[in-house]
Amino acid sequence: MDLQLTGKTALVTGASTPGIGRAIAAELAREGVTVAIAARRGELLRKVAQEIKAAGYAEPVVLEADLYDPATPERLAAAACDRLGRVDILVNAAGGSRPIPFDAPVETWEEGMMVNFFRLRELTHALLPAMIQSKWGRIINITGSSEPRNVNVANAAKAAVHAWAKGLSRDMGKYGITINSIQPGRIKSEQMTRQHPTEESRREFSQREIPAGRFGEPGELADLAVFLASPRAGYITGTVIPVDGGMKRFAF
């Protein structure tokens, strides 16, 4: 299938680690997209850019950015537009799980909501006016499960992303802009290694919770993200799609 992505441009956040953001950046580059990659750790980003270049694709633009900083969304959007010419595709992959005790202080809630929802929304809104003008755009949010196991700020933040993205997709449809969210189940990454540090703990969890019987590879999620980013997915918007080896327990 020709995904018709050659010549498009993309900004991918959370691309510094060997996880979801990096895999999506690499797959977009493989499809002929010029990519900018963002996160806090510049050294890691530069390594990712070199790996993608060494594989024979256009070298990604590296943009160091800390999403805790309130100025980052505007600054990052401007830098990406400046370096890429325009941003056709935004992949919001920065974020992470935040399990907390029920009596955690308000600052803990604010921190988790900040990186997983507020800055994601602000960055998206900073890029939308130019997408509206060019009458084309793709927003892909990497969110998470809607089935909380305990109190976790990320669950609340990702649910906020789903609700906001649905409303936004209804407003943006007329401009040729789609907004979709992908829910990873257990995809190998830096934070997954922290949460499930041993092969044995991963095997035990997989046998108990994942019908596919294993953790997913980042590339298995990236395939869907790249399709959603493509012109061929123009009739898919406002959705929340799991990539979880069947881990989600409920039909709806």
Ligand X SMILES: NC(=O)c1ccc[n+]([C@@H]2O[C@H](COP(=O)([O-])OP(=O)(O)OC[C@H]3O[C@@H](n4cnc5c(N)ncnc54)[C@H](OP(=O)(O)O)[C@@H]3O)[C@@H](O)[C@H]2O)c1
Closest CA to 183 of 117, 119, 93: 93
Distance CA 68, CA 131 (A): 25
Torsion of CA 129, 63, 227, 97, to 10 degrees: -100
Closest CA to 164 of 106, 130, 224, 113: 113
Residue range at the interface with ligand X (CB under 6 A); choices 38-46, 165-173, 197-205, 234-242: 38-46
Handedness of CA 248, 150, 18, 164 (dihedral sign): positive
Name the one residue in this structure whose structure tokens are 């850019």. Answer: 49
Contact call for residue 245 and ligand X (CB under 6 A): no
Contact call for residue 77 and ligand X (CB under 6 A): no
Record the tokens describing residue 53, joined without a space: 């270049």
Contact call for residue 115 and ligand X (CB under 6 A): yes
Choose between 190 and 223: whose C-beta lies nearer to ligand X: 190
Choose between 42 and 231: whose C-beta lies nearer to ligand X: 42
Residue range at the interface with ligand X (CB under 6 A); choices 36-44, 53-61, 169-177, 233-241: 36-44
16, 40 contact by CB (below 8 A): yes
Query: Which residue among 46, 51, 59, 66 contacts ligand X (CB under 6 A)?
Result: 66
Distance CA 236, CA 232 (A): 9
Contact call for residue 192 and ligand X (CB under 6 A): yes
Query: Which residue among 84, 187, 225, 229 contacts ligand X (CB under 6 A)?
Result: 187
CB of 16: closest distance to ligand X in angstroms?
4
Residue range at the interface with ligand X (CB under 6 A); choices 18-26, 101-109, 131-139, 198-206: 18-26
Question: What single letter denotes the amino acid at residue 129?
Answer: P
Residues that bind ligand X (CB under 6 A): 14-17, 19-21, 39-41, 44, 65-68, 93-97, 115, 142, 144, 154, 184, 186-187, 189-192
